[in-house]
A and B are shown apart, each in its own frame.
Chain A
Amino acid sequence: MEMIDALRADAAKVLADGRAKVVIGYQARGDHRAPLFVTTADRAASLVYDDACKQNLAVYLRKPEVKLLGKAAVVASPAAMRSLVLLMSESQLTGDDALVLAVGVGEYHGVLELAQVAPLLKEKYAALAPSPELLREIEKLAAKTPEERAAFWAKQFAKCTRCYACRAACPGCYCTRCIVEKNVPQWISTAAAGHGNYAWNVIRAFHLAGRCTGCGACEAACPQGIPLMLLNVLLGQEVEKEFETKAGYDPEAKPVIGSWNPEDEEDFIK
């Protein structure tokens, strides 16, 4: 319980000092954890943090209505901290846009400036990896025939209602106009069926290739239980294999897709 007390105390302190105007954290709603926007120090006691906190709160930092509240201090797990670094590398956040209440694995790192996040990640969480079950699942699927894989995904994507909760939950999905909303021409059918669902889910995953920080917020947000992390983690693995880089560790990193190197592998191009 010490950790949560320290977190609440820090939240109250940054608000009282005026270092931040709002603390974005979690509150308990039964078994669920909902985001909580604390603007006065006396409300900081409502903050909670545990394993049920699946949402990535970094997503709020770019929202205009949140920016209106003033400078934010955001409660962030290591994966969410990687999202912050990603946003910095993509010029979506600058050094003094936010403070971070850094919650590590089994420990609490206190209040950090954005510039301190990347060094902490490199030092303590460089080996952050997806769960072994997830990796096994990917291997199993990859070992199947293409037809079986197509059938598996057809079954998964058939559930998609195109609510775009995955997109809303993702700090990396910050385009003001998403490709799926562009309709001249209509690249991705918006009907919640068949080819539109396939194209949407594939393109969503691809737009996060080399950018996904593996927080799992999209999958947690999906009301239909589509295993989106299989796609995200697979692409993360491929990017790491091909280009030896991992998203969310270097605020100076160039985007993987969108930069190039003349030495890139091309044995698949005949």
Chain B
Amino acid sequence: MLKQQFARRFLSICAAGLRTRRADWDRTGLMAETETKKVEATPAVFEPKIVAFVCNWCTYAGADLAGTSRLQYAPNVRIVKLPCTGRIDPLFILKAFEGGADAVLVSGCHPGDCHYTSGNYHARRRWAIFRRLLEFTGIDMRRVFFSWVSAAEGAKFADLINRITADVRAAGPFERTNPARRRLWK
């Protein structure tokens, strides 16, 4: 009896693991009852996960302004604040995709406005080349966005997020074709 229970539990863990992400795997897999648990059906409207790496001085303040101005924007974006766009290593972008982001936004001060004089110029060069590399290795530019949003452009930030969310929603989930995605061992 015990053996059977174990076998069934093991199978359900495998099934859940194959279909869901690691976090879900820990939750649904280990806690799965002996009965086969239904994996959550995909919602009718795909809600993309977007990671935004923004600079402290411009885009973050812009996002803040959007909030204090009571502007509505899509809740699909997860904002990561960094001191400057110059601090945004290409590894951050990879890490976001590794963790299952459907898209990444990188945004900072307009040219000439950098709090540290030249961080955004450095970042611009880096992205100009790195985006080509991403594209060539299978992460196309429907998944990576670059923008300048100043502290005064709350409306631009809200528009940007809405536009990106719509674009990524149209592009669909990245789960299956994302080459950088962290996966379970096979």
Which A residues lie at the B interface, using CB under 8 A? 141-142, 146-147, 149-154, 157, 179, 187-189, 193-195, 198-199, 201-203, 205-206, 209-210, 230-231, 234-235, 238-239, 242-243, 256-262, 264-266, 268-270
Contacts and interface: CB of A to CB of B under 8 A. Distances in A.
**Chain A residues touching B, majority SS:** helix
Interface residues of B, number: 41
B112 A262 contact: yes
Contact of B121 (A202, A231, A260): A260
A212 B182 CA distance: 29
B67 interface: no
Of A151, A153, A270, chain B has the most CB atoms within 10 Å of the CB of A270
A198 B124 contact: no
Given A153-B138, A195-B98, A231-B133, A266 B124 contact: yes
A268 B133 contact: no
14 contacts: A146-B177, A147-B177, A195-B183, A202-B90, A203-B91, A205-B133, A206-B90, A234-B136, A242-B129, A258-B122, A259-B125, A264-B125, A269-B147, A270-B147
A242 B90 CA distance: 18
Contact of A269 (B118, B137, B146, B180): B146
Nearest to B136: A234
Interface of B: 90-91, 94-95, 98, 111-112, 118, 121-122, 124-141, 145-148, 160, 177-183, 185
Contacts of B111: 262, 266
Contact of B91 (A152, A188, A193, A239): A188
A262 B118 CA distance: 9
Contacts, number: 122
A28 B175 CA distance: 49
Contacts of A231: 133, 136-137
A142 B134 CA distance: 11
A269 B147 CA distance: 5
B125 A270 contact: no
A202 to B, nearest CB: 6
A265 B132 CA distance: 14
Given A202-B137, A269-B148, A210 B129 contact: yes
B131 to A, nearest CB: 7
Nearest to A193: B185
A184 to B, nearest CB: 14
Given A146-B138, A209-B129, A269-B146, A187 B121 contact: no
B182 A194 contact: yes
B132 A234 contact: yes
A111 to B, nearest CB: 37
Given A150-B137, A195-B98, A199-B98, A235 B132 contact: yes
Contact of A195 (B118, B129, B139, B180): B180
A270 B141 CA distance: 12
